Amino acid sequence: MNAEDLTEIERAGRRCGVCRSGRGWRRFEIVRPAEREPIVLCGSCRARFGDDPPVARKPEPEPTSAALKLLSPPKPDAGERRTDRRPDRLRAALGKLPGSFSTAMAARAAGLNNDKTLARLHDLERRGEVQRVGNRWSTGPPPDELATAMDRLAARTNNLRIVRDRARVG
């Protein structure tokens, strides 16, 4: 390695001109492509690119407008709307969950953290897509309050025996 090569390596900051690695800088090689500045290459970039590294190449000439029309995808019309949004992971996961679920279950199914899932569930509750039932969530319709009260009453009074006082004779 001569002094000129060492000067180029120092000017490059002891880094490869392509991958920016500084490992083993004493084995770096200098490539001098035609009509370009000298480029410092590490051993792996030298093996990969040889004498024509992708750094400091002259830009290719711009294609003409006719070629651009052929290469570019068609633009949507004014009336047509394109949505590049990804599908909502939480809504997709809610369809796979049972009727009643916890925030943690929804978070695991959607692949989100609990705080973000809780905020999204509150948002969906405001829209009427989910309901809060106690400390759980439900995608079913809101429960009928009178029917649930009657069910609770029937559950409590199911095995009660009604005992009447008899008048004592005697």
- pLDDT of residue 65 exceeding 80: no
Average pLDDT of the segment spanning 54-74: 63
Local confidence band at 152 (pLDDT 50, 70, 90 cut-offs): confident
**Confidence band for 109, pLDDT divided at 50, 70 and 90:** very high
φ/ψ (deg, to 5) at 136: -120, 175
Count Cβ atoms within 10 A of the Cβ of residue 142 and give its class: 0-12 exposed, 13-18 middle, 19 or more buried.
Answer: exposed
Tokens of 105: 């279950």
* pLDDT range class, residue 99, cuts 50, 70, 90: confident
Residue ranges in 18-140 assigned as alpha helix (H):
43-49, 65-71, 89-96, 103-110, 114-127
- For the cut 90, the answer to whether the pLDDT of residue 107 exceeds it is yes
Tokens 């019309």 found at: 77
Spatial contact of 8 and 40, defined as CB atoms under 8 Å apart: yes
Residue with tokens 């407008």: 65
| pLDDT above 60 (res 95) | yes
Instruction: For residues 20-35, give the mean pLDDT.
Output: 85
Domains of the chain (ranges; CATH) run 3-49 (no CATH), 89-138 (1.10.10.10)
Mean pLDDT of the chain: 79
Is residue 160 pLDDT above 60, yes or no?
Answer: no
Mean pLDDT of 64-78: 60
- d(CA 118, CA 107) in angstroms, rounded, equals 8
* pLDDT of residue 94 exceeding 60: yes
Between helix 103-110 and helix 114-127 the angle, nearest 10°, is 110
